[in-house]
């Protein structure tokens, strides 16, 4: 069974396929025969010409005419968003409950368009506010998503059921929350919508509000008593969803309410503090630390299963347990780096693959973060398990706006260009054999060499 979104898409495509610009010279292309002295009713409705439509009706045209795909003239008028045309057709006997071939009634279309005046006209004409489309989506749910709170209130007054789920278990409150319609959500709650009802997939209205990015809607549901402890698919919590969506305001609200497990890792293996450290949101980092987040907490293994096509890439390598400080350094978030150290983060931490705070910063694109990292761990020539130093990583990172500044920071701190990694490659050799733009900036900072500086083993092989 097609979903509501699919039905609306099909409906729009069908309308576009048989529509034409509203010019009298082109209107006969719609297929309806023109009257001897004017437009046909179908042409007049499509053009939004109320006077021509009234003239066609006066000459015997029927307001109840059915077009291709079972579309009614009333539905066509709703598509063109003409309240005066809708009023005329209803006054001339157009039926407000005639569905098209896809099961969409004029009221559903009006709700999808969101025009409160047209929705009101249909309700006045006794449109069935409870008649759902084939996938179970009700007009109330569609209006809650697209129209105004006043329209939602009017539909409820006309007898719409507040908590009818569609085939996915999604209710009008969830649709309102997903669209960030706080006023409509408040109206539905006042009418008795269940605040913690779940979809078949396990989502509550709070999850939809968090995903919408609307702080106002999230706050409304929290104030109304939404269950913060509910878990969605893969045991995802509302705070974790807020972190996935980068909805930092919602995450702040959830943490401030208390009861959030700050030591829990998400499906990526990260705690909330790791995600906040990557975001650069220093106040959020401070809030998490104040509520007990561990500044030295380590990431864990990811639960994500990567699927790749043969010969078309491979999953990223596993990341060793990593503290928030290294993540902040990698993302160039200096204020967060300082806040973490002030809260007890260990600057001397070295991950299992040999990465320390300097190497983490070198993998990013911030000279300021690299300088801060060297102030915390002052060894510009520390190498990881593969023998790569910060200079290897900066040169290997390619051309970017911070390249020259990062190279100067390393040069100022004594970085050596002649140290070979496990494969025998030195930073100087990388620069000389790489991009011309990178080489030019490297030469400006480290000085031009007559030949690449090679490791001893390579020097013997290249006399």
CA distance 433 to 97: 73
Query: Cβ of 399: how many Cβ atoms within 10 Å?
Result: 12
What digits encode the pLDDT tens for the residues 392-403? 999 999 999 999
Mean pLDDT check: name the lowest of 88-102, 332-346, 447-461: 447-461
CA dihedral 360, 365, 371, 375 (to 10 degrees): -20
DSSP-derived secondary structure letter, 34:
P
pLDDT at position 4: 52
Mean pLDDT check: name the lowest of 21-35, 49-63, 106-120, 135-149: 21-35
For residues 64 and 217, the model is more confident at: 217
Can you name the residues that pair with 35 across neighbouring β-strands? 38
What digits encode the pLDDT tens for the residues 144-181? 999 999 999 999 999 999 999 999 999 999 999 999 99
- CATH code matching the domain that covers 237-302+318-348, chosen among 3.40.50.10280, 3.40.50.720, 1.25.40.20, 3.90.550.40: 1.25.40.20
Q: Give 417-421 contacts, CB < 8 A, sequence gap 24+.
A: 417/391, 417/446, 417/453, 418/453, 418/455, 419/381, 419/383, 419/387, 419/389, 419/391, 419/455, 420/387, 420/454, 420/455, 420/456, 420/457, 420/458, 421/383, 421/386, 421/387, 421/388, 421/389, 421/392
For residues 382 and 315, the model is more confident at: 382
Average pLDDT, integer, range 421-446: 96
CA distance 117 to 218: 29
What digits encode the pLDDT tens for the residues 37-92? 478 999 999 999 999 999 999 999 999 888 888 899 999 999 999 999 999 999 99
Query: Cβ of 443: how many Cβ atoms within 10 Å?
Result: 14
Q: Rg (Cα) of the chain, in Å, rounded?
A: 32
pLDDT at position 261: 94
For residues 315 and 249, the model is more confident at: 249
DSSP-derived secondary structure letter, 354:
S
Q: How confident is the model at residue 27 (pLDDT cuts 50, 70, 90)?
A: very low
pLDDT at position 160: 97
Residue 319 has pLDDT above 90, yes or no: no
Residue 383: φ, ψ to 5°? -120, 155
pLDDT at position 456: 44
Mean pLDDT, the chain, whole residue set: 89
Residue 451 has pLDDT above 50, yes or no: no
CA distance 408 to 367: 9
Residue 462 has pLDDT above 50, yes or no: no
Fold match between domain 1-128 and domain 350-463: yes
What digits encode the pLDDT tens for the residues 259-286? 899 999 998 999 999 999 999 999 999 9
Task: Confirm or reject CATH 1.25.40.20 for domain 1-128, answering yes or no.
Answer: yes
What token pair was written down for 248?
Answer: 């930092």
What would the DSSP string read from start to end of 392-451?
Answer: HHHHHT-S-TTHHHHHHHHHHTT--S----TTS--HHHHHHHS-HHHHHHHHHHH---SS
Displacement of CA 346 from its chain's centroid (Å): 34
What would the DSSP string read from start to end of 310-327?
Answer: TTS--PPPPPPP--HHHH
pLDDT at position 324: 99
Average pLDDT, integer, range 387-394: 98
CA distance 284 to 271: 13
Residue 283: φ, ψ to 5°? -60, -40
Q: How confident is the model at residue 447 (pLDDT cuts 50, 70, 90)?
A: confident
pLDDT at position 420: 98
Can you name the residues that pair with 231 across neighbouring β-strands? 237
- CATH code matching the domain that covers 350-463, chosen among 1.25.40.20, 3.40.50.1580, 3.40.50.2030, 3.50.50.60: 1.25.40.20
Domain spans of the chain, in order of start = 1-128, 237-302+318-348, 350-463
What digits encode the pLDDT tens for the residues 325-373? 999 999 999 999 999 999 999 999 999 999 999 999 999 999 999 999 9
CB 271 within 8 A of CB 262: yes
CA distance 182 to 144: 10
pLDDT at position 318: 74
Residue 25 has pLDDT above 70, yes or no: no
DSSP-derived secondary structure letter, 355:
-
For residues 438 and 319, the model is more confident at: 438
Q: Which of 323, 446, 342, 345 is nearest to 394 (CA)?
A: 446
């Amino acid at each position: 069974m097609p979903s509501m979104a699919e039905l609306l898409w099909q409906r729009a495509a069908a309308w576009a396929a048989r529509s034409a610009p509203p010019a009298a010279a082109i209107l006969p292309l719609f297929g309806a025969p023109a009257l001897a002295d004017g437009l046909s009713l179908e042409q007049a409705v499509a053009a939004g010409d109320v006077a021509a439509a009234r003239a066609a009706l006066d000459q015997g045209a029927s307001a109840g005419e059915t077009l291709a795909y079972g579309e009614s003239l009333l539905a066509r008028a709703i598509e063109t968003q003409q309240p005066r045309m809708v009023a005329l057709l209803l006054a001339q006997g157009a039926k407000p409950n005639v569905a098209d071939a896809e099961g969409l009634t004029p009221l559903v279309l009006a709700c999808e368009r969101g025009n409160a005046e047209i929705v009101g006209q249909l309700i006045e004409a006794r449109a069935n506010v409870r008649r759902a489309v084939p996938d179970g989506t009700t007009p109330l749910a569609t209006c809650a998503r697209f129209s105004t709170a006043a329209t939602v209130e009017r539909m409820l007054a006309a007898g719409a059921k507040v908590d009818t789920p569609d085939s996915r278990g999604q209710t009008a409150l969830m649709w309102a929350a997903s669209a960030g319609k706080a006023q409509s959500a408040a109206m539905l709650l006042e009418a008795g919508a269940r605040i913690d009802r779940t979809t078949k997939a396990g989502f509550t209205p709070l999850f939809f509000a968090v995903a919408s990015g609307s702080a106002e809607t999230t706050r409304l549901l929290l104030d109304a008593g939404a269950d913060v402890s509910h878990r969605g698919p893969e045991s995802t919590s509302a705070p974790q969803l807020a972190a996935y969506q980068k909805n930092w305001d919602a995450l702040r609200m959830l943490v401030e309410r208390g009861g959030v497990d700050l030591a829990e890792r998400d499906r990526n293996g990260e705690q909330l503090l790791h995600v906040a450290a990557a975001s650069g949101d220093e106040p959020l980092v401070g809030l998490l630390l104040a509520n007990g987040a561990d500044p030295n907490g380590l990431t864990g293994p990811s639960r994500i299963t990567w699927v790749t096509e043969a010969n078309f890439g491979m999953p990223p390598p596993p990341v060793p347990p990593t503290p928030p400080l290294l993540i902040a350094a990698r993302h160039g978030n200096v204020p967060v780096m300082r806040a973490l150290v002030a809260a007890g983060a260990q600057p001397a931490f070295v991950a299992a693959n040999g990465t320390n705070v300097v190497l983490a910063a070198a993998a990013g694109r911030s000279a300021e973060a690299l300088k801060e990292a060297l102030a915390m761990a002052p060894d510009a020539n520390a190498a990881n398990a593969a023998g790569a130093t910060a200079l290897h990583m900066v040169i290997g990172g390619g051309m970017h706006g911070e390249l020259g500044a990062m190279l100067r920071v390393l040069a100022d701190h004594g970085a050596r260009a002649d140290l070979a990694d496990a494969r025998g490659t030195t930073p100087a050799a990388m620069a000389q054999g790489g991009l011309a733009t990178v080489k030019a900036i490297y030469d400006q900072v480290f000085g031009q060499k007559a030949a690449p500086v090679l490791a001893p083993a390579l020097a013997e092989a290249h006399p």
